[in-house]
Chain A
Amino acid sequence: MRYIVTLFLALLTVSPVPASAQIANNLIYGDQALTIDLDPAYPSPGETFTAKANDYALPIQSSGLRWVIDGKATPEYDNKRTITLTAKEIGQKTNVELVVDLPSGGSMRVNKVIDPVYLDIIIEPQTRTPAFYRGRALPSIGSTVNATAIINGGAISPAGLLYTWRLNNETLEGGVVRSNNSITFTMPRGEFATISLEVGRLDGTTLARHLFSVRNSQPRLAFYDVSLLYGLTTKAILNTLPLVGAGVTVRAEPYYLDLLTYNNPDFLEWQIDNVRTQNPGSNPYEVTVAGSGQSGTSQIEFHVRNTTQVLQGAQGDFRLTY
């Protein structure tokens, strides 16, 4: 009995110090008392990111901070709240561990594993560009936009993943949708649209997150000479076109006009010297002007517009000299 009482007293004397950190972490201060905040939250392979110690919820002052990267102590980061690291390649994880020393002599630990993932979102606005144009179409207000998400260059199939798309903080498709790696939306008003995508695993953990802005562009006109022999020329008419020969055919190209409006415009008009011109050709975006046989200039104007969505339209002019 005497031995039992002695052992009990000894345990009472020894146990409190190492137990305090454990209790502090899980019970007294809660799980969120000490965290590591990453910026960006889900780094891509090779991307530089910051890890920040967030211990502001701790009710006691820490006596020191230490960082352990992949199990190795990093004295150069001692007592730094924010450190900068570089994510490894695809499939290579980085274990970032934060150790907070407490005045009582104990310590608290928290860790975060960075498993870098490429989450690419390809924006494909359904707006007008001519076939020779080697760039991508840009979105304009009210235009249709397709977005496609590709993870790790297609190495991870979308089939077993959960996709949450948001446009200007409004969830699309009614919420989380499985395998939904592409989406179509209408560009909202405003200078920018903010698009975010969160991709999660079926167990509820987040695989990657991407947030970015897409700027609205205004539809803009460019005029091109149409040659009978060569077809559409690729150099735009800049302000003035000298008439060579008996006449010229000019194509108006309303860049970034929504394809629905381009294919079925409410209003489309050519004017020559402020006089509306009936275009006898099959393509309403082309006009043929014959020379008058005298020298002079003519002002050629073109206007196309959706009368319901008035911002879906473009207007421009150039001077024809002959």
Chain B
Amino acid sequence: MKQSTFIILGVIVILVLVGAWAYLLFSGTPKDANQIFTDLGLGGEEDSGIVIAPEPKPEEPVVNMDRPRLRQLTTKPVVGFAEVQATTSDPVVVYYAEAGTGHVYTIRLDSGEETRLSNTTVDKASFASFSPKGDAVAIRSHNDKRTSELTVGTFDQGSGGLKTMTFSPTVTDFSLVSSSSLLYSTESPYGLIAHEYNFNKAVDTTLFTVPFHEAKIIWGSSTTATHAAYPKPSYLLEGYLYRFTKGTMSRLPAAGYGLSAFIAGNNVIYTSASDYTPKSTVYNESTNTHHPLSIVTMPEKCTSSVKRMNTLWCGYELKKGEFEFPDTWYRGEISYKDSLWLVDLELGNAELLVDTFIASQRELDVTELTVGPSESTLYFINKNDNTLWMYEL
């Protein structure tokens, strides 16, 4: 190509650039998106000047940075708690009993306001069970005794203390299913005896007998509900699951070393270990089938949905390597760094809800996982310091 051709092309490019600069200088920049840059009208075509506006993107959910979904509710160690909502128009309130003192507090979830409801001291309070309506509480003292007396009472707004009810037996385990009904177990030479004590009638009724002593009882939600029991788990000893319906004991098809179990509707979720490897299984009573779960469940770390079929929430961390499951956790020699998972019992799979360490920068060892009656919030105690936590679903 000739040198003159290069020069001509260069001059043309410079002229075009100078023209564009002059246009921009005198016409100014567009004020809004509807102004067009130019209508060159090349080829005689007409441009209507309409610009198709970009489709609005769906709004991202607003994240309230002040109130994360996973948050710590108490700085005090807690031995029992319950979510209560008197009516649907009332605020959701969490009741909790403080470890050591047994003092009862309430926290409004909407405002975070904390109120002390009872200043009645229960020496070395170690476990508390609230009635579902939050109008009564049963508190056990001294966790260094196998059997201990309970303090059971309703809240006296006037005195700010507990209006205690007379209850004298020493118990091994208990659950307050209403303000007037306490389910509890006592030792006998032949095993454990499960009772119901009705405070209104001052009547004690024997519910069923467990023919061994070292039993974990799964209390039903009422006196007439089905209850269950199994020998306390250990990785070296075999366990079996039994059900109690109207006082009659029957065997459920769940057994194994280190067996622990809980019941969710028609499903029995049980975990057993072999060769130091725990695995969890779902037994569906309706279909009489067993199928494996993708995570390892523990009764203390899981809770089931009443509203949604086959739904479970669990705290879980995959622990690799051999360890004495669940003995070492019960001895307090190991700790989990749990995340919260949503488990589909029908499919057996699990979906991560929140990585609690990323969300809180704290190692949370989940225990006593519970879902509130509204099923909008999960609550749990961090076993590392016994503080109460919540996660908004």
Contacts and interface: CB of A to CB of B under 8 A. Distances in A.
Is B one of A's binding partners? yes
Interface of A: 45-46, 90, 118, 120-124, 130-138, 148, 150, 152-155, 212, 214-215, 217, 222, 224, 227, 229-236, 238, 255
16 contacts: A120-B240, A124-B213, A131-B143, A131-B146, A132-B126, A133-B330, A134-B216, A136-B237, A137-B214, A150-B242, A229-B101, A231-B126, A231-B142, A232-B143, A232-B144, A234-B143
A132 B300 CA distance: 14
B74 interface: no
Closest 6 CB pairs of A and B: A153-B251, A231-B124, A229-B100, A136-B232, A154-B249, A235-B332
A238 B146 contact: no
Contacts of B57: none
Nearest to A134: B330
B97 interface: no
Contacts of A124: 212-214, 231
B234 A138 contact: yes
A222 B331 contact: yes
Contacts of A238: 333
Given A135-B233, A148-B211, A130 B144 contact: yes
* Tier of interface size on chain B: 35 or more
A154 B240 CA distance: 12
A134 B231 contact: no
Contacts of A133: 330-331
A214 B144 contact: no
A235 B367 CA distance: 13
Nearest to A152: B251
A232 B333 CA distance: 15
Nearest to A125: B237
A124 B233 CA distance: 11
Contact of B236 (A118, A138, A150, A233): A138
B237 A214 contact: yes
B238 A134 contact: no
B263 to A, nearest CB: 15
Interface string B326-344: 1100111101000000000
Nearest to B213: A124
Interface in B233-265: 233-234, 236-238, 240, 242-243, 249-253, 255
B242 A154 contact: yes
B220 interface: no
A229 B211 contact: no
Most buried by B among A122, A131, A224, A235: A122
Interface string B301-327: 000000000000000000000000011
Interface in B140-157: 142-146
Given A131-B146, A133-B330, A231-B142, A122 B100 contact: no
Contact of A46 (B250, B253, B300): B253
Contact of A235 (B100, B142, B212, B384): B384
A152 B211 CA distance: 13
B269 interface: no
B237 A138 contact: yes
B212 A148 contact: yes
A106 to B, nearest CB: 42
Contact of A120 (B99, B146, B233, B255): B255
B71 to A, nearest CB: 23
B332 A222 contact: yes
A236 B332 contact: yes
Contacts of B251: 90, 118, 120, 150, 152-155
Contact of A122 (B124, B143, B231, B252): B231
A205 B212 CA distance: 27
B142 A236 contact: no
A138 B146 CA distance: 17
Contacts of B232: 134-136
A171 B370 CA distance: 49
A47 to B, nearest CB: 9
Residue among B126, B146, B331 with the highest chain A CB neighbour number at 10 A = B331
Contact of A153 (B234, B236, B249): B249
Contacts of A136: 214, 231-234, 237
Contacts of A214: 236-237
